[in-house]
Amino acid sequence: MKKILFSVLLCAIAGFSISAQTVQQYGQCSQSNFTPIQCGYYQEGYQDGVGDAQTNRNSDYRRYRNKLDGSKYESYYQQGYEAGYSSLRTNQRWSNDQRNAYDDGYQDGESDKRRNISRLPARYEGQYNKTYEAFYKQGYFDGYDGRSRQYDTQIGGNQPNFPNNPNFPNNPDFPRGGTATGTVDWVGRVDDRVNIIIRGNEVRTEIVAGTGGQPTQQTMNGVLPRRSATVSVNKIEGRGTVSVIQQPSRENRFTAIVQVVDSKRGDENYRLQISWQSSVLQQIDEPYQSGRVIWKGRVDQTANIVISGNDIDSQDASGTGLSNVSNNFSGYLARRPGSVSVKKNKGRGTVNVLQQPSAENDYVAIVQVFDTDKGAGDYEIEISW
């Protein structure tokens, strides 16, 4: 214990400390505060803590000492474990700082609604303490949407109007949830031809021809869902033609494309409003096809494998190295609750199912590979459902 406390003290002196409130909110550490290796140990501890809480085991990170083997990063694993274990305790009393962040967000949300401007807490970046960002955003959305103030509630993706599930890995390719309706307000100068590409909660602009096309203003309200939707565009300003050249579908990984064509010389100002409409119940009852993935890769620290439909995405979660990735995919992970299992055929570390497909994560499965030894290790795992 003295060794652990001493390590924590050294980390605090070095600027690597992180509050318990922060880790409870986000489920994974910030690499601006931790090094990638420290993050890897923290995240593994967090997942083990969540697992013990879910199975009603007592809180004791030491039962996983075999993963640590006297590692100097034990304190980071311990912090992650304790944060993960406590994250499932609902209706805990908020601290004054958490409550203040929520109140600030609530007031800003109410103000934006009164001024009839878009529902976008990001415009207040830098004006609140990032440590309590989840509380600020929940307050903002409650204020903007006209809900009464709600203190001491669980902050996370289980609340339908809160779009950022804090336990979901940061990856725009597999966005959190989706909204039946939404808009993108796009302003920019176009020279010749550009495509505006929308997928999940990401909007990017691609210059097809000419020299101009980057947006000067871009606001997204909602998340394009991972199901069929009808996308339309309204040209508010601009001399050329605007059209939707691709509607989102399973075949294009639910990606919409709007194209602007400016055929005259020089560039021109454009102002567009892109909107979509989808039934939130659509495709949820699609047939469930059993499937299997044989995944191979070389992992240094932590890798997340995300499966959605017939898509698979491999993420270097710790930022320390992921290479030689290949997979053999069969079946289809449908948009409905399911049970995913994983078996390690080769590898020295641990492999576990981080998330089962559910409504809270928009029916994706996430498998994590955690390699504790020095250097990278080769893995072969079998994922099935």
- Give the range of the structural domain holding residue 353, as residue numbers without chain letter: 289-384
Per-residue confidence at 29, pLDDT binned at 50, 70, 90? low
Are residues 192 and 225 located together in one domain of the fold?
yes
- Cα 340 to Cα 63, 108, 326, 380, 383: the distances in Å are 25, 41, 19, 17, 7
Let me know if residue 154 belongs to a domain: no
**What pLDDT is recorded for position 345?**
95
- Return the DSSP state at 168: S
**What pLDDT is recorded for position 133?**
81
Are residues 263 and 313 located together in one domain of the fold?
no
Are residues 300 and 230 located together in one domain of the fold?
no
Are residues 43 and 12 located together in one domain of the fold?
yes
Let me know if residue 233 belongs to a domain: yes
Are residues 295 and 253 located together in one domain of the fold?
no
Poorest-pLDDT segment among 67-71, 290-294, 313-317: 67-71
Taking residues 285-304, report their average pLDDT: 81
Let me know if residue 346 belongs to a domain: yes
Let me know if residue 204 belongs to a domain: yes
pLDDT tens digits, one per residue of 94-145: 778 888 889 999 999 999 888 888 778 877 877 887 778 888 888 888 888 8
User: Which of 86, 106, 131 represents a domain boundary (last residue)?
Assistant: 86
Contact 367, 304 (CB under 8 A): yes
The C-alpha atoms of residue 262 and residue 313 are separated, in whole angstroms, by: 36
Let me know if residue 186 belongs to a domain: yes
Q: How many domains does the chain have?
A: 4
Model-level pTM? 0.43
Are residues 373 and 342 located together in one domain of the fold?
yes
pLDDT tens digits, one per residue of 214-223: 788 888 888 8
Contact 200, 226 (CB under 8 A): yes
Asked if residue 208 has pLDDT above 60, the reply is yes
The top-scoring range by mean pLDDT among 131-135, 261-265, 379-383 is 379-383
pLDDT tens digits, one per residue of 303-338: 889 888 777 888 887 767 889 999 998 888 877 777
Give DSSP secondary structure letters for 181-243: EEEEEEEEEEEEEEEEEEETTEEEEEEEEEEE--EEEEEEES---SS--EEEEEEEE-SSEEE
Taking residues 293-308, report their average pLDDT: 89
Helix axes 74-86, 2-14, angle to 10 degrees: 90
Are residues 269 and 294 located together in one domain of the fold?
no
